[in-house]
């Protein structure tokens, strides 16, 4: 393997004059670090490229973890609008993070923590608090070394105890917000052994109108990286198709990397096929050689193949699922889409998701409920779309259509039952209607005095006790531990009345209602928690598996049995 290009990190004269800054903790001797940056435009798939690399390294026998760097000033993603940033993903420790952490958990089949998400807000908050406490002993607190040192410390802490740590830098090279992170990476590369650090750069390779793959955007992106003292070791080209041999050679020539360090990551129908594509390109083998891990890897014939077996499993038939939400983009409900896909893999069935805009349901989207084999009402906040979500729950209940309500969807099902079965007219949640005469959904007691919105909900993993002889017990067993993100709950004052009318709360956490079901319905199931966050391709979420099983049965039901 020609390792000469690795020395390019040190060819810039001004870099030789760099003085190593003091760090809070010394360089780690064990883990290997793979930094993944992006150029030209955001949303190229840096996270999927990194996660796919991690999947292949795990197949080869290595313990892999990940860090996602988000350069925004928010401390976490909890207060962000899904339209801007996609879904807020919740970790087991209650961290509210970017959806890319969800991809890492799904690809690596691992549980991440809030420490594995670095944001500029988190960094500055920590450094300023330390300054106020006098921890810097009168020094002038600056971006370098104090912010960059904190970045490096967090990366090393997250990597401790693992063989490989993947670090994805959000945004694109050249963004003003990313400056401190690129400087930290530059320092990091000097402080660690050369064979312990690898820089992968993901860029766009577009087509011209005459069908030619254009390398100029990649060249400019790498030029931008080099201007701040970073030379990529690996280049991954995102293109509609595989990169031509001539394109790879041109990129290698103008970006100073070997031709065999240039890889294709073409468009695929399913993101779970990306590890298979980059494996065929040899990306994993190249990374292991560069990091001097090849001798410790499992022989190819002995590497884990479960991922390939699952994602290439032949599918028979299609189930349609209506997703009733108010954010008209897939990223806002990404984990639900993925959990449905995982359940489909387990049933060897394709899942087609029919988007139902809650606000348009009565006018143009109601037909989609009738077309669907099952209905999912997801979580959310605020009044908009709740009337239609309640209507969707009623339609599913009255027409024996499989129903899965998640968090807010669970609460909407309670409200619907209170109104239309218990006869509690105008029953509602105090989140949407503070003066409702029947507050069947109310604020959690511990939320009464909460003023700050960020990070103050009931968050993270909590255990639920499950009643025997119920659908919940059939799916989960005696207990389950799932992730939460809510401020409101079923009002304890209405539980007896609801259950007397036939609604069954089959899962509880002390006096808190966690799971509901209807015993005489093919599948009517709601959870206060978010089971989608723990679903994996190799380990589909139990409620989604049960829901899809019922939806497959619904698909076979004669149309004449379904009310119009």
Residue of 201, 489, 530, 554 marked active site: 530
Percent of the chain scoring above 90 in pLDDT: 80
Does the pLDDT value for residue 3 go beyond 70? no
- Annotated binding-site residue numbers: 42-48, 83, 100, 168, 175-177, 214-219, 250, 268, 380, 408-411, 431, 487
Kindly state whether residues 199 and 172 are assigned to the same domain: yes
Asked whether residue 358 is assigned to any structural domain, the reply reads yes
> How is residue 279 written in tokens?
């494996």
The answer to whether residue 407 is catalytic is: yes
- Once rounded to an integer, what is the mean pLDDT over residues 17-30? 43
Of 281, 310, 339, at which residue does a domain stop?
A: 310
Does the pLDDT value for residue 7 go beyond 50? no
Kindly state whether residues 318 and 404 are assigned to the same domain: yes
Asked whether residue 75 is assigned to any structural domain, the reply reads no
What is the CATH classification number for the domain harbouring 149?
3.40.50.300
Asked whether residue 282 is assigned to any structural domain, the reply reads yes
- Annotated binding-site residue numbers for CTP: 42, 175-177, 214-219, 250
Model confidence at 446, pLDDT cuts 50, 70, 90, reads: confident
Percent of the chain scoring above 70 in pLDDT: 94
The answer to whether residue 532 is catalytic is: yes
Residue 451 is predicted with a pLDDT of 78
Total domains in the chain come to 2
Kindly state whether residues 319 and 300 are assigned to the same domain: no
pLDDT in tens, 248-307: 999 999 999 999 999 999 999 999 999 999 999 999 999 999 999 999 999 999 999 999
Residue of 183, 517, 532, 554 marked active site: 532
Kindly state whether residues 268 and 342 are assigned to the same domain: no
Question: Do the Cβ atoms of 165 and 159 come closer than 8 Å?
Answer: yes
Kindly state whether residues 451 and 482 are assigned to the same domain: yes
Asked whether residue 492 is assigned to any structural domain, the reply reads yes
- Annotated binding-site residue numbers for Mg(2+): 100, 168
Comparing 363 with 185, the larger pLDDT belongs to: 185
3-state secondary structure of 292: coil
Residue 96 is predicted with a pLDDT of 95
What is the CATH classification number for the domain harbouring 500?
3.40.50.880
d(CA 420, CA 416): 6
d(CA 233, CA 198): 6
Residue written as token pair 């290997």? 32
Kindly state whether residues 271 and 353 are assigned to the same domain: no
Kindly state whether residues 373 and 486 are assigned to the same domain: yes
Does the pLDDT value for residue 16 go beyond 50? no
- Annotated binding-site residue numbers for ATP: 43-48, 100, 268
Kindly state whether residues 299 and 353 are assigned to the same domain: no
Residue 358: which of 310, 390, 326 has the closest Cα? 326
Kindly state whether residues 236 and 187 are assigned to the same domain: yes
Residue 19 is predicted with a pLDDT of 37
Asked whether residue 180 is assigned to any structural domain, the reply reads yes
The answer to whether residue 162 is catalytic is: no
Residues spanned by the domain of 254:
32-68+143-310
Model confidence at 404, pLDDT cuts 50, 70, 90, reads: very high
Kindly state whether residues 294 and 349 are assigned to the same domain: no
Residue 307 CB partners (closer than 8 Å, separation 6+)? 55, 59, 272, 275, 537, 538
Asked whether residue 369 is assigned to any structural domain, the reply reads yes
* Residues β-bridged to residue 38: 202
Residue of 407, 428, 484, 554 marked active site: 407
CA distances (Å), origin 441, targets 105, 382, 433, 485: 32, 13, 10, 15
pLDDT in tens, 211-221: 999 999 999 99
Per the prediction, the chain carries an average pLDDT of 91
* Residues β-bridged to residue 320: 352
pLDDT in tens, 78-109: 888 887 778 999 999 999 999 999 999 999 99
């Amino acid at each position: 393997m020609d390792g000469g290009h690795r020395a390019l990190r040190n060819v810039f004269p001004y870099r030789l004059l760099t003085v190593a800054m003091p760090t809070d903790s010394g360089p780690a001797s064990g883990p290997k670090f793979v930094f993944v940056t992006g150029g030209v435009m955001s949303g190229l798939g840096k996270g999927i490229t990194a996660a796919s690399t991690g999947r292949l390294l795990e197949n080869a026998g290595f313990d892999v973890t990940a860090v996602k760097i988000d350069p925004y000033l928010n401390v976490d993603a909890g207060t962000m609008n899904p339209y801007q940033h996609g879904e807020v993903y919740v970790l087991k420790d209650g961290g509210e993070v970017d959806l890319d952490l969800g991809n890492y958990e799904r690809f690596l089949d691992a549980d991440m923590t809030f420490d594995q998400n670095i944001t500029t807000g988190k960094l500055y908050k920590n450094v300023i608090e330390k300054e106020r406490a006098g921890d810097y002993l009168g020094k002038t607190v600056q971006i370098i070394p104090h912010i960059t040192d904190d970045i490096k410390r967090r990366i090393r802490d997250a990597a401790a105890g693992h063989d490989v740590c993947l670090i994805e830098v959000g945004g694109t090279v050249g963004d003003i917000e990313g400056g401190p992170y690129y400087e930290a990476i530059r320092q990091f590369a000097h402080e660690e052994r050369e064979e312990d650090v690898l820089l992968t750069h993901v860029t766009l390779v577009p087509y011209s109108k005459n069908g030619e793959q254009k390398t100029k955007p990649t060249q400019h992106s790498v030029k931008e990286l080099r201007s701040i003292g970073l030379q990529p070791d690996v280049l991954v080209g995102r293109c509609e198709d595989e990169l031509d041999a001539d394109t790879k050679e041109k990129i290698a020539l103008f970006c100073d990397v070997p031709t065999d360090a240039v890889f294709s990551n073409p468009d695929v129908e399913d993101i779970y096929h990306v590890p298979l594509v980059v494996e065929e390109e040899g990306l994993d083998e190249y990374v292991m050689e560069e990091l001097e891990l090849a001798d410790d890897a499992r022989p190819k014939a002995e590497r884990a193949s479960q991922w390939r077996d699952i994602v290439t499993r032949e599918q028979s038939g299609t189930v349609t699922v209506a997703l009733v939400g108010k954010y008209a983009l897939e990223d806002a409900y990404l984990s639900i889409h993925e959990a449905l896909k995982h359940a489909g893999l387990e049933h060897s069935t394709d899942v087609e998701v029919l988007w139902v805009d809650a606000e348009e349901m009565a006018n143009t989207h109601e037909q989609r409920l009738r077309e669907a084999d099952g209905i999912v009402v997801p979580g959310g906040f605020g009044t908009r779309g709740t009337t239609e979500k309640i209507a969707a729950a009623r339609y599913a209940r009255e027409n024996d259509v499989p129903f899965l309500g998640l968090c807010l969807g669970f609460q909407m099902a309670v409200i619907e039952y209170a109104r239309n079965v218990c006869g509690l007219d105008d029953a509602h949640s105090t989140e949407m209607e503070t003066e409702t005469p029947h507050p069947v959904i109310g604020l959690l007691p511990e939320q009464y005095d909460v003023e700050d919105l960020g990070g103050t909900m009931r968050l993270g993993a909590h255990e639920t006790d499950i009643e025997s002889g119920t659908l919940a017990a059939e799916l989960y067993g005696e207990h389950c531990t799932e992730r939460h993100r809510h401020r409101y709950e079923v009002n304890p004052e209405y539980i007896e009345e609801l259950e007397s009318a036939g609604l069954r709360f089959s899962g509880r956490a002390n006096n808190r209602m966690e799971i509901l079901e209807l015993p005489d319905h093919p599948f009517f199931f709601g959870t206060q928690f978010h089971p989608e966050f723990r679903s994996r391709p190799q380990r589909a979420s139990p409620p989604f598996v049960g829901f899809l099983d019922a939806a497959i049965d619904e698909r076979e039901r004669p149309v004449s049995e379904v009310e119009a």
